[in-house]
Amino acid sequence: MQTGIVEEFGTAEGGVGTAVRHQLRIATVNVNGIRAAYKRGMDSWLADRGVDILCLQEVRAPDAIVRKLLGDGWHILHAEAEAKGRAGVAIASRTAPVATRDHIGDEYFLTSGRWVEADFEVPDAEGTKTLTVVSAYVHSGEVDTPKQEDKYRFLDVMTGRLTDLRATRDYALVVGDLNVGHTELDIKNWKGNVKRAGFLPEERAYFDRFFGDGIGWKDVHRGLAGEVPGPYTWWSWRGQAFDNDSGWRIDYHMATPELAALAGNAVVDRAASYDARFSDHAPVVVDYQF
C-alpha cells in the first residue's frame, strides 16, 4: 500500500474535509519459473516498481524457495501444483489479506496450482469494502489432445466463479495468464493462429461471455488502451519474436465494472528499461485508486 494521496472532497454533510485516498498498484506476471526469473533480474524489477500486490503464475518452485526469493515484507499466498516444477500461482501482498482461497471447482483442479484468491479490505466512501484479487493460470492447451479438454473444463469452472464473484462483490479482480487472446487486436499474427490453441473461436467465445453483458467483467487494459493492436504480454523465446514484437496479449486484468472505473496507468513492462527479459511474459501493472 503506497502512502496515501491526500485530497479534498465534499462531505455528505456538504462541508469540506480531507481524506486519504489509497492507491493499490497491482502487477501480474507469469514468471515461467521464479528461480530462472530471479537469475535474470526479476529482483531489480520488483525493487523498482513499487508494487503493492504481486500476482504470479508458473511459479514452478517449492514454497520455501518462493519465500526465500521474495524476501521479507510480503504476505505470500502460494498454491503449488501437485506435480513438482509445474504451474503454481501466488499472491504476494504488502498488507495481509483478510481471507484466502486456493482453488476453484471440484477435486479435479484441487491441486493444479492454477487459481488463488485473496480478500483485502479497501477504503470506500461508506467505510471499507472487500476487494477480491485472483491470480489465475489457465491451461495453455493443445488442439486435439486431452490438454485442450482440461482447458475447456477449467474455463467452464472459471465461468461459474466469475459469475459468483460478479454477483457478490463490487470490487473483484482476476489477473493472470489466461492463455487466450480475445480479439484480433490481441495477437500480432492472428490470421496464422485461428486454428491454434490460444486463439480458437471456441476459446474466444468464453471471453466474449466474460466481457459481455451477462457476466459483465471489464478488460481493464483494453479499456484504458483503446481499440489498438496489443499491447502484447507474451512472446515466444524462438527466433526474433520479442524484438519484432510478434506477441500475444494473454495476460489480463479482468475487473468488475466498479473496480475497472478506478483503474489507471496500465503498463506492460516490456523490459526495455530493465537489464533483461526475465520471463517470456512481461508484467502487466495497473494502479487502482480507491
In sign, the C-alpha dihedral spanning 109, 202, 249, 49 is negative
Which residue is listed with cell 479497501?
A: 122
Task: Determine the size of the site formed for DNA (CB under 7 A).
Answer: 25
- Given a contact cutoff of 8 angstroms between Cβ atoms, the answer to whether 252 and 179 are in contact is no
Whole-number Å distance between alpha carbons of 98 and 117 = 11
By the rule CB under 7 A, 186 interacts with DNA = no
The stretches of the chain forming alpha helices (DSSP H) are 34-39, 42-49, 63-70, 146-168, 201-210, 220-225, 257-260
Residue 112 CB, shortest distance to DNA, in Å, is 9
- Given a contact cutoff of 8 angstroms between Cβ atoms, the answer to whether 28 and 251 are in contact is yes
Residue 117 CB, shortest distance to DNA, in Å, is 21
CA angle at residue 122 from 70 to 219, to 5 degrees?
A: 80
By the rule CB under 7 A, 68 interacts with DNA = no
By the rule CB under 7 A, 86 interacts with DNA = yes
Candidate residues 17, 84, 164, 192; the one interacting with DNA per rule CB under 7 A = 84
Q: Is 164 annotated as contributing to ligand binding?
A: no
Stretch that binds DNA, among 16-24, 29-37, 42-50, 90-98 (CB under 7 A): 29-37
Short-list 195, 208, 198, CA closest to 178: 198
By the rule CB under 7 A, 180 interacts with DNA = no
Active-site residue set: 137, 177, 281
By the rule CB under 7 A, 61 interacts with DNA = yes
Other C-beta atoms lying within 10 Å of the C-beta of residue 185: 17
Candidate residues 238, 243, 272, 273; the one interacting with DNA per rule CB under 7 A = 238
Beta bridge partner(s), residue 252:
176
Stretch that binds DNA, among 19-27, 34-42, 161-169, 217-225 (CB under 7 A): 34-42
Of 13 and 243, which has the nearer Cβ to DNA?
A: 243
Q: Is 58 annotated as contributing to ligand binding?
A: yes
Of 60 and 249, which has the nearer Cβ to DNA?
A: 60
By the rule CB under 7 A, 87 interacts with DNA = yes
Of 154 and 290, which has the nearer Cβ to DNA?
A: 154
Candidate residues 139, 161, 221, 270; the one interacting with DNA per rule CB under 7 A = 139
Query: Quick one: angle between helices 146-168 and 201-210, nearest 10?
Result: 10
Of 195 and 238, which has the nearer Cβ to DNA?
A: 238
Q: Is 7 annotated as contributing to ligand binding?
A: no
The stretches of 169-280 forming alpha helices (DSSP H) are 201-210, 220-225, 257-260
What single DSSP character describes residue 281?
Answer: B
Annotated binding site, which residues? 30, 58, 177, 179, 280-281
Footprint on this chain of DNA (rule: CB under 7 A): 32-36, 39-40, 58, 60-62, 84-87, 139-140, 142, 147, 179, 236-239, 280
